[in-house]
Chains A and B, each alone.
Chain A
Amino acid sequence: MNEITIDPIHEDLEAFALGALDRDDAERFEGHLDRCENCRRGLVSYIPVTNALRSVPAAMPPPLPAVSGPATVTPLRRRFAPVAFAYAAAAAVLLVVGGAITTLMQPRSDSALMTVAGMLADGPHQTVLQGDGVRGRLIIGRRNLRAAVVLRGLPPPTAGTAYHLWLVDAKPILVGALSPARDNLEVLLTNKERLGHGHALRVSLEPLDATAPLGAAVATGNM
């Protein structure tokens, strides 16, 4: 009798959704996601779970205990933990793009947005991008090398043009061109090392072969 072997990487789906894979395994699973529609759909099915877990209020840590005499350590003011902010921010992005993610199954946009969904499950760092009627985020994966930009509210690019993301430094550096997706979403997946320099981001509509930003900024954000 023939044995049917199943690639064990499929069994990493739940841990990936939970953000519990080690870095190498997470990167390997991201590569697998590009090829496996079942796992992409599976990842979407876990969005309600990770979103629900994010809704659990993060506890505020108690005051810093004194460790070496009363004059040397001052108690920290109670505040929301950074992790709570990250979760809240991720949840906010899901409010913006989540509905679209769950219904997006078109091949062209499916893969990129599924990857964004996976990044959101991982409590990523995020930066707000906004413009006139435009909202979005730069999402930087916590345990992997990917970064993504998701924007909503941009009119469809005209023929021969695309929205381009620029890193603003001494002079603008092209990060990449965004791809249209359903529901007025524009998406760009990139390597987060490409965002290592610069203090701001700018999005503008440019010809497909643009090497410098000539169009007006339609969205901006600070790094």
Chain B
Amino acid sequence: MLLVESRTPDAFEELYRRHAGAVASFVARICSDRQVADEVTQTAFLTLWNNARRFNPEAGRLRAWLLTIARNAAIDRARHKRVDVVPFEAAAGKASMQSGPEEQVENFERDRTVREALASLSDDQRTVIELAFFGGLTQTEIARVVNEPLGTVKSRVRLGMQKLRRILGPLQGNLV
């Protein structure tokens, strides 16, 4: 909270260091375009910088606030087109360049299966699971971000995970 209130460039950089990875990873799940994702991530932090006094720590963690801003910004950008759950693959591309051909094929197949599994969820289920896993939020925090009752979020997490298990469970031998 002190970092937010101070509004110094050093504090801003520290906040960015702490939270930008999670925000970018979550945004990457809901923006199919790398440039848009980067803009959305930066928008979230600039909003924090410009509206630091509006952040109420009693209402939740800063990360949840940032993810709320990022999610709204991403939805705003995607409002006129279907949100594509297939993320950009910049990081995957870098990783695959460092591995051998067999590993690349395995990675490709695994990534495709995971993407298809996530795509099989309803938008609501996918959102809560991505906010939890990629954004690091708890169910209570997610409920605030998506503005839904906690019970609804719990139900979406449970049903979404059960569906992912049906699809990804048989891959245990390859993934563990």
Partner-B contacts on A (CB < 8 A)? 11, 13-15, 17-23, 45-53, 55-62, 64-65, 67-68, 72-73, 76, 80-84, 94-95, 98-99, 102, 123, 143
Q: Are B157 and A47 within 8 A (Cβ)?
A: no
Which range holds the interface residue count of chain B? 35 or more
CB-CB < 8 A to A72: which residues of B?
A: 9
Q: Are B42 and A20 within 8 A (Cβ)?
A: no
Q: Are A57 and B138 within 8 A (Cβ)?
A: no
Partner of A67, one of B20, B49, B136: B49
Q: Are B139 and A22 within 8 A (Cβ)?
A: yes
CB-CB < 8 A to A50: which residues of B?
A: 133
Q: Are A61 and B91 within 8 A (Cβ)?
A: no
Q: How far, in angstroms, from A61 to B89 measured CA to CA in the complex?
A: 13
13 sampled A-B residue pairs with Cβ under 8 A: A20-B157, A47-B172, A48-B176, A51-B176, A52-B168, A59-B27, A61-B23, A72-B9, A76-B13, A80-B91, A81-B20, A83-B134, A123-B136
Using known A-B contacts A11-B154, A81-B24, determine if residue A99 contacts B176 with beta carbons closer than 8 Å. Answer: yes
Is the contact region of chain B dominated by helix, strand, or loop, or is it mixed? Answer: helix
In whole Å, how far is A15's beta carbon from the nearest beta carbon of chain B?
A: 5
Q: Which residue of B lies closest to A20 (CB)?
A: B132
CB-CB < 8 A to B128: which residues of A?
A: 20
Number of A-B contacts (CB under 8 A): 162
Q: Are A52 and B175 within 8 A (Cβ)?
A: yes
Q: How far, in angstroms, from A2 to B162 measured CA to CA in the complex?
A: 29
Q: How far, in angstroms, from A47 to B168 measured CA to CA in the complex?
A: 10
Please tell me if B22 contacts chain A, counting CB pairs below 8 Å: yes
Q: Which residue of A lies closest to B107 (CB)?
A: A55
Q: How far, in angstroms, from A51 to B107 measured CA to CA in the complex?
A: 13
Q: Are A62 and B114 within 8 A (Cβ)?
A: no
Q: How far, in angstroms, from A67 to B113 measured CA to CA in the complex?
A: 40
In whole Å, how far is B74's beta carbon from the nearest beta carbon of chain A?
A: 13
Please tell me if B75 contacts chain A, counting CB pairs below 8 Å: no
Q: How far, in angstroms, from A60 to B157 measured CA to CA in the complex?
A: 26
Please tell me if B2 contacts chain A, counting CB pairs below 8 Å: no
Q: Are A21 and B24 within 8 A (Cβ)?
A: no
CB-CB < 8 A to A84: which residues of B?
A: 21, 25, 91
Q: How far, in angstroms, from A21 to B45 measured CA to CA in the complex?
A: 26
In whole Å, how far is A95's beta carbon from the nearest beta carbon of chain B?
A: 8
Q: Which residue of A lies closest to B23 (CB)?
A: A61
Q: Are A98 and B176 within 8 A (Cβ)?
A: yes
B68-91 toward A: CB 8 Å interface, digit per residue (1/0)?
000000000000000000011111
In whole Å, how far is A200's beta carbon from the nearest beta carbon of chain B?
A: 26
In whole Å, how far is A119's beta carbon from the nearest beta carbon of chain B?
A: 15
In whole Å, how far is A182's beta carbon from the nearest beta carbon of chain B?
A: 16
Sample of 10 further A-B pairs with CB below 8 A, known A45-B169, A59-B24: A18-B133, A47-B176, A55-B114, A59-B90, A61-B21, A61-B23, A62-B24, A65-B45, A98-B176, A123-B136
